[in-house]
Amino acid sequence: MQKFALFDLDNTLLIGDSDHAWGLFLASFNAVDAKQQTAAQDRFYQQYQQGTLDIHEFLDFQFTPLKENDMQQLESWRDQYIESHIKPMITQERLDLVKHHQNLEHELIIITATNSFVTRPIADLFGIEHLIATEPEQNIHGFTGKLDGIPCFQAGKIEKLNHFLSTNYSPNSNIADYESWFYSDSHNDLPLLKEVTRPVAVTPDESLRKYAIQQQWKIID
């Protein structure tokens, strides 16, 4: 039976947060208001760490630049952002971890709350085909500023993952039917960490570290 290696992205495969970095990148040349962007991101990030984040309020905020700019401009900015902000966040240690699972012929999936516009090229840098992410809605004119489907956040990661598995592998299957690894740094991922057979905490936040120690989960620092 197929085995799966699942990876959170921000502060797990990356030594940083791609969503946070994207906003600061846009603010660096005033594509968004720098003062407002920094203040809002700091507030949202604190809520994320505390487990109190209103994901829909956050996504409305994060999707605004996608809505207000055309695709050609957004893609040009994204190319610059990948070079200046993302590539420095990728370490050989993380690449080796991905390669380890590829060598074992596991099916690799990045599963992240950060939207797919930002994260698709990052998944490509790791050579990972499957990306399950929060999806910004699009029409023929570009991004609408709205959410397509559900956020890939907390329990939403399980729902989106199980839909992916039942669509692409075995009908009505879910992650509990497979041997699986999930690497994450955040207590926000506890719902999915509890579902996999081999949860791994990666430089975990305080809440996740405490829980991982109690459960005798593997911890990587």
What's the residue count for the chain? 221
- Split into its structural domains, the chain has a count of 1
User: What is residue 160's predicted lDDT score, i.e. its pLDDT?
Assistant: 98
User: What is residue 72's predicted lDDT score, i.e. its pLDDT?
Assistant: 96
Residues 6+ apart with CB under 8 A from 45: 17, 20
pTM of the model: 0.96
User: What is residue 156's predicted lDDT score, i.e. its pLDDT?
Assistant: 98
Q: How far apart are CA 220 and CA 201, in angstroms?
A: 6
- Catalytic machinery residues: 8, 10
> Strand 130-139 to strand 142-148: parallel, antiparallel, or no bridges (unpaired)?
antiparallel
Q: Mind listing the pLDDT tens digit of every residue in the chain (221 residues)?
A: 899 999 999 999 999 999 999 999 999 999 999 889 889 988 998 898 888 999 999 999 999 999 999 999 999 999 999 999 999 999 999 999 999 999 999 999 999 999 999 999 999 999 999 999 999 999 999 999 999 999 999 999 999 999 999 999 999 999 999 999 999 999 999 999 999 999 999 999 999 999 999 999 999 99
Burial of 39 (0-12, 13-18, 19+ CB in 10 A): exposed
User: What is residue 57's predicted lDDT score, i.e. its pLDDT?
Assistant: 95
Find the radius of gyration of the CA atoms of the chain: 17
**Exposure class string for 180-193: b at 16+ Cβ within 10 A, else e:** bbbbbbbbbbbebb
Give me the CATH number covering residue 87: 3.40.50.1000
User: What is residue 27's predicted lDDT score, i.e. its pLDDT?
Assistant: 94
Q: How far apart are CA 81 and CA 198, in angstroms?
A: 33
User: What is residue 45's predicted lDDT score, i.e. its pLDDT?
Assistant: 85
Question: Among 33, 16, 140, which Cα is nearest to 81's?
Answer: 16
Could you report the per-residue pLDDT of 37-80, keeping only the tens digit for each? 889 988 998 898 888 999 999 999 999 999 999 999 999 999 99
User: What is residue 203's predicted lDDT score, i.e. its pLDDT?
Assistant: 97
Query: Which residues span the domain enclosing 48?
Result: 4-220
User: What is residue 41's predicted lDDT score, i.e. its pLDDT?
Assistant: 87
